[in-house]
Structure 1
Amino acid sequence: MREADAERALARFWRDLHALVGNSMSAALAAALRSVLGQLMRTVLGVRASGSGRGGGKDKEEGADADEVQRARSELLQLVESLRDVGLAGERFQILFAELLDGITVDYIRQTYAGVWEPNEDDAWSRIRTSARVRIQPRCVRELSVWVEDHCARLAVEVTGRLGGGLQVSWTDLEKWKEIATGRLAALRIDELFDIVVSWPSSEGGVDDLRYAITTPQRRLQLTDAFSNTLQKRLLHPGRSTLDILRTYIAMIRTFHKLDHSRVLLDRVAYSLQMYLCTREDTVRIIVTGLLANRDEVDSEARKTKLVELVELLFQDPGRNGFARPDEEWEDLDWVPPPVDAGSNYKRRKSEDVIGTLIGALGSPEVFIKEFQGIIGERLLSEKKTFEQEVDVLDLLKKRFGESSLQACDVMIKDIQDSARLDGVIHRGAVNHPDKVDRVWTIHARILSRLYWPEVGEERFALPAEVEEMQKMYETIFERLKPSRKMKWLNHLGQATVELELEDRTVIERVHTYEAAVIDAFGEGGAPSWSFDDLWMKLEMDEDLLTAALGFWVQKRVLRRLANNTYAVIERLSDVEQQQPPPSSLVGSAEAGASGGEGAGTVTATTPLRAKPPGMSEKEREKRQVYWQFIVGMLTNSSPTMPLSQIAMMMKMLMADGFPWSSEELQEFLGEKVADGELEIVGGKYKLVKK
């Protein structure tokens, strides 16, 4: 053959021979090589096998055996040279080496940086940050880059140098490896993002890692999709309370504001949470109650039941945390273009705006304002003497919603202030009135403007004659002072102090007006015992309200229930057979408001714990508890108020084993819950007491 043809033929022969040898590696040999290479590379890089614990790379630096590392390095390089000599260090080996190096890097990142979220503020480099546009590597990213350069790149250079064939690691390759490692760290932080949110602000370092690494629209989309899925699994389900969800939402707002000042990411992940919050009936009440919380409750046990974080934010910096006007772009000296993945209706907001975001999540501002009016109305009708907290919060809300939106609240506060003054004037007028009542003047009223206060319903019943007489005189004097106005008494919301003189004791209780009217029927001039029907006809009171009042006095051991649904006064406790010792007492509080009647306010009373009725078995008690849970579920998820007939119908439909009680038995059971303060009766319908 001519020399040129011979060289070409020889080159083809060697090519085919190397291809045959290079592709002759069996599956068993490949698996064995992967295992041996992986073990040696982990020893050299100081990374433990997956699942064997944390701290891989740092263990090597702090206390690993240097001789063992050097032995593993020599053995690894000798193995590479041997594979090269027999022709097995071709493309398949290079792919295997790259896969192993990538997997070890992922294990190192998880072992070393999982859960490491300490803030970077203690580093000198963080103090020079002047703008969100300055990309400075967080501590974890810098440490990881150093590890890639000093360990991974060194090993790659040593291995490729022994493979021959002109392979060489360039500076561009090193930068790509650092980028890949940073992406792996970002994937870890995305998996941890929910825990980072819950742990805020101690997890600020993890957010810094994400902010540095999440720079492309693809990675931003990956973050929001993964976090939304985690929200559905770990937060947005019936097992989490509304208070927990709102606390997590507050942490989300603050975390995502740190992660992305444009708020594009927050808007993406928050939509499902906002929609879910709208299905929770108590969402608005919890937010409003948190805003109206006392600043002294921030570090108290109240944190378990109230969103006290809001009152912290409210008085830290009102402009920063929710009540500032929307930012104007032309005023922003640090303006930057919107992100490429922002929507068409995107509007940048600079402030964290925690409270404003929470209120915006409720949908229409009218929903929040209506609930705010209801709660502030309850507080204004309490026994509090001053309302500085309510006035301060109202002033801050006006900055956000405008004066006109909260005009009704202004009128409510003015009513309470004017009412105290007017009540004093009416009392002084009663003393000099020609038709003054021939007894001590004990009636006080809160006089409210009908059009500006929330609807409270009305329950009519007959009051004691002396109370009606005082009401008429009060009304007469009021109409003389205010000729253009008429009074309408809401007796069911009033309260009265009742003193009962029994043969062996004196009972003094602060009660609702309808409870006072019921016990008055058993007093002087009344009968010592009444049947339910006779008492109902005398007082003209709603049956549910009457049942609740009788249950209250039975619980207080003032009345006892006899046969034929008759109630009698217990003059001496010794006359009543006590099958169980008297129940212990506890101090509880209940809120009530009134626009008329014998005063109004927050009552603190001694309320006995309900003992198990005589003769009730443990099985019966458990059955009653199951029924109560069904009723709570219906009033929470189906309808906030229900009449007796609807509750009975739904119980018969929902109970798998049937509902054996009659309407009378169910009414008595609900009356017990009203007496216990679990239920209240509004307009003839039962409603859970908001706590």
Structure 2
Amino acid sequence: MTHNGLRYQVATKWQDSFRRFNQREPGISGLIAFSQAWDTATEFLKPRNINEPLPPRQYTQAVRVALDVIHKSKRLPTLIETFLSQVESLFYLIQQEVDQYMIEYTSDLDVGIISRMVYRIHEWMKQWTPATELGTAFQSVYINFFQTHLFSILPGGFSSAFKDLIASTLAPEEEGEALKQDHQIWFTFDALGLNDRFESLIASVGYEHIERHVLESCTGQWGEPMLTPTRDWMTAKIVPWMLHVYGRNATSTEEARAMLAGVGSRFDFHMAKTLCDLRTSEIFDIIIDFPDSMGALQDLKECLQRVDQRAALVQSLRQAHRKRLLHPGADTKLILSQYVATIKCLRIVDPPGVLLFKVADPIRRYLRDRPDTIRSIVANLVGDDDSGDALVDESEPPRPLQAADIEDYSDPNWEPEPIDAGPDFRANKPSDIISTLVSIYDSKDFFVKELQILLAQRLLAAGDDQSDKVEKERRNIEILKIRFGEAALQVCEVMLKDMTDSKRIDQHIQSQKASVIHPAIISKHFWPALESSEILMPGQLKELQDQYTAEFTKFKPDKRLRWLTHLGTVDVELELEDRVVEALVSPLEAAVIELFSEQSEWTLDDIAKRVGLSQTNILSKAVDTWLDLGVLASAGEGVYRVLEVSVSKGAEAKDHVHRPTTVEMEMPPVASVQQQQAEQMRVYWKFIEGMLTNLGALSLDRIQTMLKFAPGYDRTITQLAGFMEAARREDLVTVRDGMWKLNK
């Protein structure tokens, strides 16, 4: 039963196929006609070797009838398969030519060879393309088949060669590349499927061309914005090229614009990214060159809105700061200047301040650890910075120090924080430069104390004719009151008042008994601690001091005058046998030369005993001053004598008067903030020593908590840790597992 059924099915199908091929003709005449039509169609479609001279192929009536017969017989798919098999069998001819062209290109590296190869492959493709009368479906199958086999025979080096060919279409005209105006080749690429196959490679050629132009034209050009000129260049050079690549089939301007919209946006994005990467790599030097680099900052601001490179900018700038700025070889003034320039530049690039917050944190921490940061900032505030680079714009009016911003959610213009802002961003965003610099430290008290020290030095160094300088300092203090408040600068007001009172007291004493001494009389408790000295003034210098003290006591019987003999200057006139020497020297130098009025020869040890100074190195510098002026001469090891007659000029130097020689004076030695803090911490050492003696080993937190009960203690735990570490280096204490104890 099974075999009979199968035989019946086979017989039925055979009869159906026979009737279809026979076209219901009598006998086998229809089958013979189909066979003839098949031969005619296959002969017409058979691919030819274009290297052989053959007559052109013609679509005749016989071919049309044959194809119609095959179509009615439903054998057209078989005909297509047969045709494609014939094409495949002759594809070795194309491969041979491709290999030959690639060998020539490898030898000459001439992109014209690749161009000729492409056109040659296209000739093969056109020669084998079925007639249009066969329908688009037939041609579509053939094109896909041809392209697939073409990609399979292309050698590995074709991608690089094809990229060079594409690059030649973008080459400047002056370079004389072979295909700079050959637009037809793009249609050939499209016909062979190369545009779709190598789409990313073609785009990379455009990207690289843009990158070269940006690097060549924009590197180091910071004065003017370069983004708009670069876009104009792209419109003139890149867009026409893009039109051939991506919009060659457009029939109107609007259609071309629509076709280029997406790809044009990608090219513009790449241009912005390239310029952004360039400006990111140059950002440190751009900041140094500010404000002459305003154009580059505007470019960077616009590019960051187009390209998400904010994290790369922060990383690049922080890395540049670590390498070029935040190291011991950089001067504090330079770091501050660069920090201020960074603030100004990043506020232009990113007005909300997120980038500045992330970049500034390492600079602020580094400056906080530098001992002279406060002094540099304060010196700039009061106009004592002679570097020529002011941290504060003089045209900017002084404003009070600004506290951290407080969120006002009822403000209709309130905006949420940027998405890349950190948790502490809003609390650290003062708007003006001075507030930003002061916010480096936790309290403004450090700056106020440094202001007092600097003011004391400047007032004490003012000299006899000090009215103008004192008034200048008074104006500075009035300006600083606006920033720090009047209460914070009350001590400075007392210091200025002391200078005014000192002049008034000196005028009164001079009216009672004229003296060549004009001291600056200050209040001990309102001035910063001055370094003490044990210098004893000999001879007439001592007499002048005693006379002035007596007159002062008569005028101020409730006050006591204590001389700081190491401060100030003395204008001396020395009468020698052949000359007169005038010089402005320090009190110690005046005391040294005064001793030689008693005897003409002194040893260094004897001089030290008379002036009460144990530091022989300081005393040697004072003696060297008179050696340099030719007043003293060495008479042996540590022995000096007066030169009454100049050795160099002899008798000719008689009655000759030397012009005054001004010896550069150092600023009065006022103890710095750090020195004052260290001295105060030594007072608290007694408390710490008592704790560790009575309670044993203690943690730093426990010591800090107990010290808060000490009168006047206001140090942070970080400052306490620094002091304890210094005590450990002096072997006063030891630490183990965070527990401090006395070193027995």
Shorter-chain TM-score: which interval?
Answer: 0.5 to 0.7
Q: In the alignment, which of 160, 163, 167 is matched to residue 38 of structure 1? A: 167
Which residue pairs with 1:683 in the alignment?
Answer: none
Give yes or no for the alignment of 1:343 onto 2:440: no
The answer (yes or no) to whether the contact 1:463–1:517 under 8 Å persists in 2 is yes
Match of residue 561 from structure 2: 487
Taking a change above 3 Å as real, the CA distance of residues 117 and 158 of structure 1, as seen in their structure-2 partners, is: same
- Aligned 8 A contact 2:535 2:588 in 1: yes
The 1-side partners of 2:601 and 2:664 are apart by: 30
Aligned to 2:207: 102
Partner of 2:454: 375
Q: 1:508 aligns with which of 569, 582, 585?
A: 582
Tell me if the contact between 1:494 and 1:512 (Cα under 8 Å) persists in the aligned partners.
Answer: yes
- The answer to whether the 8 A contact 2:279-2:296 is kept is yes
- Alignment map for 1:492-641 (pairs within 5 Å): 492-523=566-597, 526-542=598-614, 543-574=616-647, 589-593=664-668
**How far does residue 584 in structure 1 lie from its aligned partner after superposition?**
13
Pairing 1:116–2:221 present: yes
Deviations 1:526-568 (A, max 9, x none): 2211122222223322223322221221121111112232111
The match for 2:534 is: 460
Displacement, 1:421? 0.7
Higher deviation after alignment, 450-459 or 477-486: 477-486
**2:287 equivalent to 1:203:** no
Q: CA contact under 8 A between 1:118 and 1:203: conserved in structure 2?
A: yes
- Given that 1:197 and 1:255 are in contact with CA atoms closer than 8 Å, whether structure 2 keeps it comes out as yes
Q: Deviations over 1:197-220 (max 9, x none)?
A: 122222222211222221389421
- Residue deviations 1:39-76 (CA, integer Å, cap 9, x gap): 32123xx7xxxxxxxxxxxxxxxxx69xx79x84432x
Aligned residue in 1 for 2:387: 306
State the aligned residue count. 525
Contact 1:290-1:307 within 8 A present in 2 as well: no
Residue by residue over 1:161-219, the C-alpha shift from the partner in whole angstroms, topping out at 9 and shown as x without a partner, is 5699x999352333333233222222222222223212222222221122222138942
State the match for 2:497 in structure 1.
Answer: 414
Distance 1:145 1:575, change over 3 A: closer
Q: Give the counterpart letter for 2:612 in structure 1.
A: E
The one-letter code sitting in structure 1 at the alignment partner of 2:467 is: K
Change over 3 Å in CA distance of 1:366–1:544 after alignment to 2: farther
Change (3 A) 1:157 1:195: same
1:105–1:490 CA distance, 2 compared to 1 (3 A): same
| 1:357 paired residue among 436, 445, 453 | 436
Which of 152, 162, 178 does residue 238 from structure 2 map onto? 152
- Give the equivalent residue in structure 2 for 1:74: 181
Alignment-derived partner of residue 391 in structure 1 = 474
Contact 1:109 1:185 in 2 (8 A): yes
* Change in 2 beyond 3 A, CA 1:89/1:534: same
Give the deviation of 1:17 after TM superposition.
5.2
Compared CA separation, residues 286 and 349, structure 1 to 2 (3 A) = closer
**What value does the CA root-mean-square deviation take over the aligned residues?**
3.8
Question: Could you say if the C-alpha distance between residues 18 and 447 of structure 1 is closer, same or farther in structure 2, counting changes exceeding 3 Å?
Answer: same
**Which SS does the other structure have where 1:225 is aligned?**
helix
Distance between the aligned counterparts of 2:564 and 2:328, measured in 1?
A: 38
Task: Name the SS of the counterpart of 1:519 in structure 2.
Answer: helix
Question: What SS class does the counterpart of residue 566 from structure 2 fall into?
Answer: helix
Radius of gyration: which is bigger?
2
Q: Percent identity?
A: 28
- The 3 A distance-change label for structure 1 pair 217 and 350 is farther
Q: Which residue does the alignment assign to 2:545?
A: 471
State the TM-score, normalized to the length of structure 2.
Answer: 0.63
Aligned-partner SS, 1:520: helix
Residue 93 of structure 1 and its aligned partner are, at CA, apart by: 2.2
Question: What is the aligned counterpart of 1:265 among 330, 355, 374?
Answer: 355
CA contact (8 A) 1:189 1:210 kept: yes
Deviation at 1:592, TM superposition (A): 4.3
Contact (CA 8 Å) 2:337, 2:391: kept in 1 or not?
Answer: no
Deviation for aligned residue 1:477: 3.8
- Give the secondary-structure state (helix, strand or coil) at the position aligned to 1:42: coil
Matched, 1:230 2:337: no
Given that residues 347 and 353 in structure 2 are in contact (C-alpha distance below 8 angstroms), is that contact kept between their aligned partners in structure 1?
Answer: yes
Structure 1 unaligned spans of 5+ = 47-63, 120-138, 295-301, 432-439, 578-582, 596-638, 640-691
Q: CA offset at residue 415 of structure 1?
A: 0.9
Q: CA deviation at 1:333?
A: 8.0
- Gap regions ≥5 residues in structure 2: 1-72, 85-139, 651-657, 671-677, 679-744
Shift of residue 373, structure 1, vs aligned partner: 2.0
Match of 1:573, SS state, is: coil
Q: 1:470 to 1:389 in 2, by over 3 A?
A: closer
The question of whether the paired residues in 2 share the 8 Å contact of 1:224 and 1:265 is answered with: yes
Secondary structure, in 3 states, of the residue corresponding to 1:574? coil
Distance 1:217 1:176, change over 3 A: closer
